[in-house]
Amino acid sequence: MSGREKVDEVLNKAKSVIFGQDDLLDSIMAALVCEGHLLIEGMPGLGKTLSVSVMAKLCDLSFKRIQFTPDLLPSDLIGTMIYSQKTEQFTTKFGPIFTQLLLADEINRSPAKVQAALLEAMAEKQVTIGENTHKLTSPFVVLATQNPIEQEGTYPLPEAQLDRFMMKVSVEYPNFDSEKNILSLNFDNITKNEAIMSTDDILDLKEKVDKIYVDEKIKDMIVRVTHATRPGSEYFDSAYNGAIAAGASPRATIWLYKLGKFVAFIKGRDFVSPEDVLHVVPSVLGHRVILSYEAMVDKIQSRDLCLKIAERVI
């Protein structure tokens, strides 16, 4: 069975037990193969946590879940040094971050110091406890869920941390048929799912995706798209003056490039087309482009604005 067939089988199996969240499941697979972090936003009870746990089981990855709360400490996440009176030495107690797939559930319910504890792990794939630095296993992916900021008791994620997420996916309510199918769902069967892929399969897929060809013109287009979101850039359209406070960072350019390859691979092609890049623009740029106060008052959606900007550039 080829790598692409295994991906299709995993997604089909997941979609047979999780109804109405196809985009979310596709995005989780992209995060695993591209080894990027995913921010999942949606109201409670839409299957965000269930989707992550099912994908972890189907891909045979070590999986840990942390419930973020206002009283969570950084040491609860990364671990700490413990002194033993018996041996008169310090030993390292590793936290739940030492896994392959980390579900940070309701990440915006914890204060900034805990969110900051994730930054090193997300960017460097390593954790420092005391004087020692520990490498994390590969793949290491953070899948963070958050409820919309308007809800009480939430702390908005700082821009520096938002930028470390490869994509932000908004989870909507399922349609009528999907929600009706949920009623006949047997949750015992979900926990009995057997692994279809392994860590080696995912690392092999990553190599294959890396080999997808990207033409120089497509690379130029990707860079133009990112530059077009930055006020003051020669590619920025004056029609959006006053709508954007800050544009996307070079990380956005990197992820448009990598995810364009992934989309091409899933579609069975060995080269990236402009449509592949456009497909991921809202998810990659939407949370990185900071809108002005006036644009937020006008209820302009960052995802929609980024797609319009990209379509003009392309």
Count of domains in the chain? Answer: 2
Residue 135 lies in a domain: yes
Residue 194 lies in a domain: yes
Residue 104 lies in a domain: yes
In sequence order, what DSSP letters do the residues of the chain get, joined into one string? --HHHHHHHHHHHHHTTS-S-HHHHHHHHHHHHHT-EEEEE--TTSSHHHHHHHHHHHTT--EEEEE--TT--HHHHHEEEEEETTTTEEEEEE-TTSSSEEEEETGGGS-HHHHHHHHHHHHHSEEEETTEEEEPPSS-EEEEEE--TTSTT--PPPHHHHTTEEEEEEPPPP-HHHHHHHHT--HHHHHTPPP---HHHHHHHHHHHHTSB--HHHHHHHHHHHHTTSTTSTT--GGGTTTEEE---HHHHHHHHHHHHHHHHHTT-SB--HHHHHHHHHHHHTTTSEEPHHHHHTT--HHHHHHHHHHHH-
pLDDT (mean) for 100-115:
84
Please say which residue of 203, 221, 253 terminates a domain.
203
Please say which residue of 177, 203, 229 terminates a domain.
203
Place of tokens 């692409």: 4
Q: What is the pLDDT of residue 76?
A: 86
pLDDT above 70: residue 190: no
> Tens digit of pLDDT for each residue in 269-298?
889 999 999 999 999 998 998 888 888 888
Q: What is the pLDDT of residue 30?
A: 92
**Bigger pLDDT: 199 vs 91:** 199
Confidence of residue 258 (pLDDT cuts 50, 70, 90): very high
Q: What is the pLDDT of residue 149?
A: 61
Based on the fold, state whether residues 24 and 116 are members of the same structural domain: yes
Based on the fold, state whether residues 230 and 296 are members of the same structural domain: yes
Q: What is the pLDDT of residue 187?
A: 66
Residue 11 lies in a domain: yes
Based on the fold, state whether residues 236 and 166 are members of the same structural domain: no
> Tens digit of pLDDT for each residue in 125-134?
888 887 778 8
Residue 83 lies in a domain: no
Based on the fold, state whether residues 239 and 172 are members of the same structural domain: no
pLDDT above 80: residue 307: yes
Taking the whole predicted model, whether its pTM rises above 0.75 is answered as yes
In sequence order, what DSSP letters do the residues of 5-20 get, joined into one string? HHHHHHHHHHHTTS-S
Give percent of the chain with pLDDT exceeding 70.
96
Domain with residue 183: its CATH number is 3.40.50.300
Q: What is the pLDDT of residue 151?
A: 63
pLDDT (mean) for 186-215:
82
Residue 76 lies in a domain: no
pLDDT above 70: residue 150: no
Residue 75 lies in a domain: no
Read off the tokens for 121: 């792990």
Domain with residue 222: its CATH number is 1.10.8.80
- Least confident among 32-36, 40-44, 145-149, 265-269: 145-149
Based on the fold, state whether residues 61 and 161 are members of the same structural domain: yes
pLDDT above 80: residue 67: yes
Based on the fold, state whether residues 132 and 160 are members of the same structural domain: yes
- The domain of 226 spans 211-313
Q: What is the pLDDT of residue 124?
A: 81
